[in-house]
């Protein structure tokens, strides 16, 4: 079958070697996935998920059993008091924007505990001037840099807190930056340290790409809100759109009033018939996240064989599904993306081109031959075309597909003369 996909025999041999080497590692990932799978099933049983939950609601969507039950299921899995899980939340940035705008008031300050936040949040916060940003509403912002080795500087964080500091953001995943993804325990420790001294400061975690990779979520360590996108891990590849905010009753209620409008809050919001997909996606999400994690490790392993620098290294413990590979040139990023796209089940015949993207300040290249537009829990890659030319590979609903994407990316670079096979020692056994 690999021959049909144009994978050369040397690359196939290399792939077999990696399969063997990664076997034990993958078994550990399966163990975590199994426990998380049971957590989701238990929450669904406890909340009496039934066929009635899949019914379509329209108009105001009052008394929507499916919507309300799904929010209870999310709250149980994240072990929070409440959750807001809606198709009306456009994407992860929107979910984060709601959580911030809902919980901050003019004169308040937002503090980032993890340095520069994700690119699209720069306009939400007003780091890059933007219409309707938090800065526009008189909300100030500061950030505490990570330590030199990329970890939370708890001492500096505690010292940075002032009376007007109302909310602290922790970003779990690396975004488009070279720094370690933070583990739940590390974030949890920092949150506990903040809450010990400042119990009223809201701790919010940008949980994008981290869900179900570990046995616990940051909310289990006292995060007041964990926030993410349904076209990443928790949507399991089946959610057609949406975002979630899980957290304390107070915080989630404020978010609901911001998402809809004061006075309406969680009470309204039709589901347009997406409920079955949201449940089905959340149900498979632990297994899907595990497939994506394996695909990420595979990408790292294969490209390390070709001498590329990878973050994290294939041997490191992971806290998210993103694999960063330093490809070092614009041509390599384009070639890699072309390969990933050619491995897709949808739109495999098109060629990705660099282009502008709303919310980003430079050209982006992106391969996403996806069932859900822009879904990054599906096999995909992207990256800003700027130094040091890092590609971010992610997704793979099934590991088989993730692996094909990795091999197609490598083959594309071989075919374009960017990787020279004869320089690499690949055994034929
Ligand atoms: C993807 C991502 C976001 C934004 O999500 P979108 O759905 O693309 O708006 C925010 N933070 C992090 C860390 C992310 O990975």
pLDDT in the model for residue 427: 46
Spatial separation of the C-alpha atoms in residues 210 and 232, rounded to whole Å: 9
Radius of gyration of the chain from Cα atoms?
A: 21
- Cβ of 173 closer than 6 Å to ligand 1, yes or no, is yes
Does residue 375's CB lie within 6 angstroms of at least one atom of ligand 1?
Answer: no
Predicted confidence at residue 429, as pLDDT, reads 36
Q: What is the residue-wise DSSP string for 343-368? A: T-SSSTTS----B--TT-SS-EEEE-
| Ligand 1 atom showing the smallest separation from residue 118 Cα | 11
Indicate which atom in ligand 1 lies nearest the CA of residue 374. 8
CATH 3.40.640.10 range(s) for the chain read 38-282
CATH numeric code, 9-36+290-423: 3.90.1150.60
The pLDDT score that the predictor gives to residue 424 is 58
Q: Is the CB of 120 under 6 A from ligand 1?
A: yes
Q: How far is the CA of 118 from the centre of ligand 1 (A)?
A: 7
| Contact predicate 167/201, CB 8 Å | yes
Structure-token pair, residue 379: 């096999």
- For helices 9-46 and 399-415, angle between their N-to-C axes, nearest 10 degrees: 150
190 alpha carbon – ligand 1 mean position (Å):
22
**Residue 390 CB–ligand 1 contact under 6 Å:** no
Ligand 1 atom index nearest CA of 229: 7
pTM: 0.95
Task: With H, G, I as helix, E, B as strand and everything else as coil, classify residue 36.
Answer: helix
pLDDT of amino acid 423? 57
Q: How far is the CA of 323 from the centre of ligand 1 (A)?
A: 15
Q: Which among 86, 113, 169, 173 is the best mutation to test ligand 1's pocket, defined by most ligand atoms within 8 Å of the CB? A: 173
Whose structure tokens read 């970003």? 171
With beta carbons less than 8 A apart as the criterion, state whether 350 and 366 touch.
Answer: no
> Which residue has the least CA distance to atom 8 on ligand 1?
92
- The residue nearest atom 6 of ligand 1, judged by CA position, is 92
Domain with CATH 3.90.1150.60 in the chain: 9-36+290-423
C-alpha 194/C-alpha 316 separation (Å) is: 28
38-282 CATH: 3.40.640.10
Ligand 1 pocket residue status of 209, Cβ below 6 Å: yes
- CB of 156 within 8 A of CB of 146? no
pLDDT at 207: 98
Q: Which atom of ligand 1 is nearest to the CA of 322?
A: 15
- Ligand 1 site, residue 342, Cβ cutoff 6 A: no
Q: Would you say the CB of residue 207 lies under 6 angstroms from ligand 1?
A: no
Question: How many beta carbons lie within 10 A of that of residue 43, not counting itself?
Answer: 19
Write out the H or E segment, with its range, that includes residue 140. Answer: strand 140-143
Strands 109-112 and 140-143: parallel
Per-residue pLDDT of the chain (429 residues; tens, 9 = 90+): 999 999 999 999 999 999 999 999 999 999 999 999 999 999 999 999 999 999 999 999 999 999 999 999 999 999 999 999 999 999 999 999 999 999 999 999 999 999 999 989 999 999 999 999 999 999 999 999 999 999 999 999 999 999 999 999 999 998 888 888 999 999 999 999 999 999 999 999 999 999 999 999 999 999 999 999 999 999 999 999 999 999 999 999 999 999 999 999 999 999 999 999 999 999 999 999 999 999 999 999 999 999 999 999 999 999 999 999 999 999 999 999 999 999 999 999 999 999 988 767 789 999 999 999 999 999 999 999 999 999 999 999 999 999 999 999 999 999 999 999 875 555 443
């Amino acid at each position: 079958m690999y021959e049909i996909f144009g994978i050369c025999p040397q690359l196939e041999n290399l792939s077999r070697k990696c399969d063997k080497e990664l076997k034990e590692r993958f078994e550990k990932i399966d163990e975590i996935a199994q426990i998380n799978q049971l957590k989701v099933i238990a929450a669904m049983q406890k909340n009496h998920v039934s066929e009635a939950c899949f019914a379509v609601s329209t108009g105001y969507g009052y008394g929507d059993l499916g919507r309300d039950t799904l929010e209870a299921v999310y709250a149980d899995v994240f072990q929070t008091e409440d959750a807001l899980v809606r198709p009306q939340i456009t994407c992860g940035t929107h979910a984060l924007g709601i959580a911030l705008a809902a919980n901050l008031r003019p004169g308040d300050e937002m503090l980032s505990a993890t340095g520069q936040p994700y690119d699209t949040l720069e306009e939400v916060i007003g780091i890059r001037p933007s219409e309707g940003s938090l800065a526009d509403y008189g909300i100030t912002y500061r950030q505490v840099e990570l330590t030199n080795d990329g970890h939370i500087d708890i001492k500096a964080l505690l010292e940075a807190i002032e009376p007007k500091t109302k909310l602290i953001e922790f970003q779990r995943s690396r975004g488009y930056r070279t720094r370690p993804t933070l583990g739940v325990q590390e974030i949890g420790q920092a949150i506990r340290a903040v809450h010990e001294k400042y119990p009223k400061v809201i701790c919010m975690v940008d949980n994008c790409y981290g869900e179900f990779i570990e046995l616990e979520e940051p909310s289990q360590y006292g995060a007041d809100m964990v926030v993410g996108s349904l076209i990443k891990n928790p949507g399991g590849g089946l959610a057609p759109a949406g975002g979630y905010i899980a957290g304390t009753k107070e915080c989630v209620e404020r978010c609901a009033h911001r998402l809809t409008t004061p006075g309406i809050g969680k009470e309204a919001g039709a589901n347009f018939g997406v409920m079955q997909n949201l449940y089905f996606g959340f149900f498979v999400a632990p297994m899907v996240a595990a497939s994506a994690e394996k695909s990420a490790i595979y990408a790292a392993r294969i490209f390390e064989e070709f001498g590329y620098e990878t973050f994290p290294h294939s041997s490191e413990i992971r806290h998210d599904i993103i694999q960063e590979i330093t490809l070092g040139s614009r041509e390599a990023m384009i070639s890699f993306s072309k390969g990933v796209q050619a491995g897709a089940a949808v739109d495999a015949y098109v060629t990705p081109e660099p282009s502008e993207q709303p919310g980003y300040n430079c050209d982006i290249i992106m391969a996403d031959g996806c069932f859900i537009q822009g879904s990054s829990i599906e096999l995909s890659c992207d990256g800003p075309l700027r130094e040091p030319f890092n590609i971010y590979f992610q997704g793979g609903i099934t590991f088989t597909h993730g692996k094909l994407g990795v091999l197609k990316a490598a083959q594309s670079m071989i075919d374009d003369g960017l990787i020279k096979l004869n320089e690499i020692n690949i055994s034929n056994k």
